[in-house]
Every structure is written in structure tokens, then in C-alpha cells.
Amino acid sequence: GFPRTVSHTLFSLGMVARDRQDYPRAEALLQQCLELRNLLDDRQGVAVTLNILASVAFARGDRARADALHREGLALQESIGHKRGMAVSYSFMCAEAATAGDSNAATDICRRALLACREIGGRWNTAECLASLARVSWSEGRPEGAARLLGAAGRLRSGSRAPQESRPAESRLLEEVRAHLGDIDFEARWAEGHALSFEDAVELGLQATAPSS
């Protein structure tokens, strides 16, 4: 007799299944959650569930479906004026675009995300965007910029209450950039990023999204 609690439980179970890479089970649980939240007219809950369903679709290799689900969730966040939710949607989208090697899309979405994060003071999602931009910078031959962005992301995460998740892909990126620059240069550039305040870290990210002259 507590449907809202059931929806939260289904969502949590779906997250656990996703993190265990049991994507069929994750999708089934999250679809049940989505149906229940629609019945409850829990629009914020629906938008968040769409984001996580999109991340499952992306992990399964269906980028088109992931993009469609993210955009549906983002449109819902915009319709209810939930700026923090919009920042979350953008950070998911830019991370996936960067992982897929779509630098143009990642850069465009990251800029929107950073502007939203600056408005709400969203440190965790700003860190996610900076890490995505680091991947773009590395792929475009700017290792020093990638190291600064990784340092800034690390600083913002250290000041967040959100859980420190395992990030194997980001760890590999960090080691690739370190190997290219050498320990001394990498540590110097990383320290420059790590010393930045939240406002300056956002500005660093915005500079990284500026069109090349």
C-alpha cells in the first residue's frame, strides 16, 4: 500500500543491477519503476528514471535509444523547471558523447551543463563535465589541458558528499595522459587544476568548450 516507496525500491534495485552490469535485469526493474512513477505523476522521478534507463541503453551499445531517453528526461526537467535535474541530464549526456568519441557533441553539451551547474552550484556534476572535457582534450591532442581538467575534477569530487564511485575508464585516461607528459609535467598541470575554486574550475571548463580560433 505504499506505491511511492515501491518505486524508490525498484529504482534502487535497478541501480544495483546496472552497477553489477546485469543490464537486462536493470532495464526490467527500471521500466517497472518508470511505469509506477508515471501512474503516481511523479514527474521528477520519471525524469531521473529516464536518465538511468538511458545509461543502461548506452552501456548495452544502443546509443540512439540512450540519446532519445536522455532528451525525453531533459525535456521533462525543463518543463518543471528543475535546474539541478537539467544539470544531471546534461552531465550524463556529455559523458556518453565523450566516451563515444563524439567530441563536437560532448563539447556542446558540456558547455550547457557547466552553465547550469554554475547557476546551481553543482560541484559533483561539474566534476563529471570536466572529466568528460578532459577526454575530449586528450583526443584532440591537448594533454596539458586534459591534465588540468582532471585535476579540477578531482578537487571538486573531494569536496562532495556524493559517493566516490569506481572510475576505471577515467583512471586509464589519467595514466595515458601521465605517460605522455611524464610524471613531473603531469603533476604540475594536474596541481594547477586541483588548486582551482569551484568558480574557476567552471571557467576552465567553459574555456575548453570555446571554439578554436
pLDDT of amino acid 91: 84
Distance CA 53, CA 42 (A): 16
Distance CA 121, CA 119 (A): 6
pLDDT of amino acid 159: 57
Rounded to the nearest 5°, which phi and psi values hold at 200? -70, -30
Residues of the chain predicted below pLDDT 50: 162-166, 213
pLDDT of amino acid 151: 95
Distance CA 154, CA 141 (A): 21
The model carries a pTM of: 0.81
**What residue spans of the chain are helical by DSSP H?**
3-19, 23-39, 43-59, 63-80, 83-99, 103-120, 123-139, 143-158, 168-181, 183-194, 198-209
Residue 81 sits at the vertex; the CA angle it makes with 115 and 36, to the nearest 5 degrees, is 120
